[in-house]
Structure 1
Amino acid sequence: MAEIPRLGHVKCSHQGFRGGFGKKMAWNLEKCYPKLEFGSALVRPATEEYAREAIDVLKSGKVLAVPTDTLYGFTCDACSIEAVRRIYEIKGREHTRPLAICVGDVWDIDRFAVTNHLPLGLLASLLPGPVTVVLKRGDSSILEKSLNPGLDSIGVRVPDCNFIRVIARGSGSALALTSANLSGKSSSVDIKDFKNLWEHCAYVYDGGVLPLGRAGSTIVDLTNIGKYKILRPGSAKEETVKILERYPLSEDGTAA
């Protein structure tokens, strides 16, 4: 069994979003312990001591609720057909709407998507951070064909949040990731925002109230060589565009 990287104090911050946020946003999740609803066996603090538990649960094909650097999300093994189906059921989401994936580190992305057309260093400048990059899956992707069938692209996240990155690394796979809410309802920045859905998760990992609001990640399409297109402004559009144009990439069509 692979050793879990030590986290120390688990933090979610934007320190990896180079050239973007000038202000470091970080907090010690252990300070959130008093707000945890220990009356529910489902709730855990999003800290190091629970990382192995989370990894084992993901490998067993179950769904977890976890904090990211933007919103709370539902996550599962992206290669588990049953777990992915369960996420759609929990959210009441149409199966035609695709799910993004989350990986632990930037260098993992090329296992799942085509990156060799991108300027050197671009992904490392954007990620980890509050950005979803849309890339072509390509023939070499190890993703299951059953994830987002019929689509030749995939949204990829590397959140600037240690807890989800550690469990992604430990899973040995990509994690399917989507916001923790009913489809069409407000996104969640606190576990209490989706309390009515807790029972559908194996565990809910509490990282406190997330500070970036409900806009979610900025989604940028990078499938075309030398081009970018903002598909959703999210919480970091301005910073993302500055990075993209430094490389330089030009805007493809009309951005959001």
Structure 2
Amino acid sequence: MQTLTLRQDPQGIARAAELLAAGQAVALPTETVYGLAADARDGAAVARIYAAKGRPAFNPLIVHVADTAAARAIALLDDEAERLAAVFWPGPLTLVLPLRPGSGLAGIVTAGLDTVGVRVPAHPVAQAVLAAFGGPLAAPSANASGRISPTTAAHVLDPDGGLAGRIAAVIDGGPCPVGVESTIVGWRDGRAALLRPGGIPAEAVEAALGRPLDRAGHLAAPDSPGQLSSHYAPRAALRLDADAPRPGETFVGFGRVDGADLTLSATGDLTEAAARLFDVLRAADRLGRPIAVARVPGTGLGLAINDRLRRAAAPR
């Protein structure tokens, strides 16, 4: 398959919508990372996502919709979910909600679960595609499963861990401004739980709810997207919380550290570090040496950064 690169203009949006309606998979920018989209109502189309990514079939997919009304058509939102949707949508928050009977979603999207992860993206290109297509789009990150997530169209087409030749098209919408995946919140035993840290700090979600989130550990069989323990992984071995490099290591710094080959943020800015995380991991991986990463604070967006780094360093 030849993968088309489409412009983020009306013609490119219309072509993407045509391909999606024909059951093809199309990569598109969101404010978090590039997603690999397919019609969430078409099982064969969604299977193309799994095939292109080599994604484990037990890992469910996030469904992207145009607005909260479209979310209500496929999922059941209680008062707390409605409150979070009102505050954070459109934006990088995914809510794992009970699946609405008769939602029309293909079973492969939820991996057999009775819940679905739903998000309303804020990126104008994603919104334009949703409007032109007129339905829900399943859209995990547009990379081979377990590999570093893409924040540019070039990453999607990267011959090492990318999807060139496996998908119909990618819309080039420039770099993603947030740079890490969405925060995922679900409900367990009636209590809101943080299932995956991401682009919205957990503290902001807690402020909107007026109470703390339960903190969920990773599961052997995921009940939401992003729950695999080994994920976002470079090829090289990764060592975390390093004060200095060992001989033969590529050292990724954060803040003022000596001897860094690359840095997430020389000034210790967590927002910059989140936006640069996957780019820096890719650059470090290309050097072909083990990677050591300096300690990153575990507050705000640092929680999401450290979550990605732990998964990247997990045994595999």
CA contact (8 A) 1:45 1:205 kept: yes
Aligned: 1:210 with 2:164: no
Structure 1: which amino acid aligns with 2:96? V
Residues of 1 paired with 2:81 and 2:6: CA distance? 40
Give the conservation status (yes or no) of the 8 Å contact 1:136–1:154.
yes
Contact 2:186 2:193 in 1 (8 A): yes
1:70 aligns with 2:32: yes
* Contact in 2 for aligned 1:105/1:128 (Cα 8 Å): yes
Cα drift, residue 84 of structure 1: 0.8
Query: Identity percentage over the alignment?
Result: 32
| 1:111–1:142 CA contact under 8 A, matched in 2 | no
Return the match for 1:84 from 46, 61, 65.
Answer: 46
| CA positional deviation for 1:172 | 2.7
60-69 vs 166-175, greater mean Cα deviation: 166-175
Q: Which amino acid aligns with 2:186?
A: D
AA at the equivalent of 2:129: I
Q: Does 1:134 align with 2:99?
A: no
Structure 1 equivalent of residue 76 of structure 2: 114
Report the CA distance between 1:212 and its aligned residue.
2.3
Question: In the alignment, is residue 188 of structure 1 matched against residue 150 of structure 2?
Answer: yes
C-alpha separation between the residues in 2 aligned to 1:244 and 1:170?
34
Cα distance in 1 between the residues matched to 2:9 and 2:168 = 16
Deviation at 1:115, TM superposition (A): 0.7
Pick closer, same or farther for the CA change 1:135–1:43 going to 2, 3 Å: same
Q: Do the aligned residues in 1 keep the contact of 2:195 with 2:216 (CA within 8 Å)?
A: no
Q: Per-residue deviation at 1:149?
A: 3.8
Question: Where in structure 2 are the equivalents of 1:38-49 lying within 5 Å?
Answer: 42-49=4-11
1:150 paired residue among 93, 100, 112:
112
For residues 82 and 183 of structure 2, the distance between their equivalents in structure 1, rounded to whole angstroms, comes to: 21
5+ residue gaps, structure 2: 218-302, 304-316
8 Å contact from structure 1 (residues 180, 187) kept in 2: yes
**2:52 aligned with 1:100:** no
5+ unaligned residues in a row in structure 1: which ranges?
Answer: 1-39
Aligned residues of 1:228 and 1:249 also touching (Cα < 8 A)? no
Work out the CA distance in 1 between the residues paired with 2:193 and 2:111: 23
Q: How many Å separate the matches in 1 of 2:102 and 2:143?
A: 33
Q: Which moved more, 1:185-194 or 1:69-78?
A: 185-194
Structure 2: distance between partners of 1:120 and 1:147: 23
Higher RCO, 1 vs 2 (CA within 8 Å, ≥6 residues apart): 1
Q: Which residue type is aligned with residue 37 of structure 2?
A: T
Q: Does 1:230 align with 2:230?
A: no
- 2:185 alignment partner AA: V
Change (3 A) 1:119 1:135: closer
| TM-score, scaled to structure 2 | 0.62
**Alpha-carbon distance in 2 for matches of 1:247, 1:93:** 33
User: What's the TM-score once normalised by structure 1's chain length?
Assistant: 0.75
Work out the CA distance in 2 between the residues paired with 1:191 and 1:243.
30
The 8 Å contact of residues 136 and 223 in structure 1, kept in 2 or not, is answered as: no
Task: Report if aligned partners of 1:62, 1:76 keep a CA contact under 8 Å in 2.
Answer: yes
